[in-house]
Amino acid sequence: MQARFINQIQNESILVNDQGLIKRGRTLYKERECIWQAPIDGTVYGTMFNYKEDLQKVRDEFQKEPYKALPRHPVLYMKPKNTYNSHLQAIFLPNKVPAIQINSALGIVIGKTAVNIREEAALNYIMGYTIVHDVTIPHDSFFRPAIKENARDGFCPIGPWIAPKNVIQDVQHLKISTYINNEKST
């Protein structure tokens, strides 16, 4: 595993044992004893409407102007570096914002430059996987980037670590859960 801790510029190799203890050098730590940093440096891209159910919820909205049709390709958005946050760190709400939405996803960490690659070669560019939480203020606009809703400071907790791709046997069957204030979200 690769992780980054407070005041580090680069990731370091760690081990995580069966009890969930983190081994740094010769010392074992509990997860909550560590002060993490996001383990990535690059850009985070997200895709909207990954699930048919999500797209069906807004189907009627896409029949209106300016869309007039459902998207035929993935709808991408970006989380800039100011949004990066660390595992177990607070997410601060802007003033007068009553609620946020948090979606958790498997982050695919690309380990080398990938331009115009063939589909069958795509997996060769994956370095590993991490968890990415997409925090947003609820909104109804999908036509223009929802910058004031998506790109707030700390609105993209990442990590705590990057698992090398050879450690994950089957990414299609990973279970990802979201916890808000230590309670599992539905």
Range(s) of the domain holding residue 9: 2-184
Q: What is the pLDDT of residues 121-148, one digit of tens each?
A: 999 999 999 999 999 998 877 666 778 8
**Residue 173 vs residues 52, 169, 170: alpha-carbon distances, Å:** 18, 9, 6
User: Which helix (H) or strand (E) covers residue 23, if one does?
Assistant: strand 22-24
Q: How many domains does the chain have?
A: 1
User: Which helix (H) or strand (E) covers residue 36, if one does?
Assistant: strand 36-37
Record the tokens describing residue 78, joined without a space: 């970006």
CATH number of the CATH domain containing 30: 3.90.850.10
Q: What is the pLDDT of residues 23-42, one digit of tens each?
A: 999 999 999 999 999 999 98
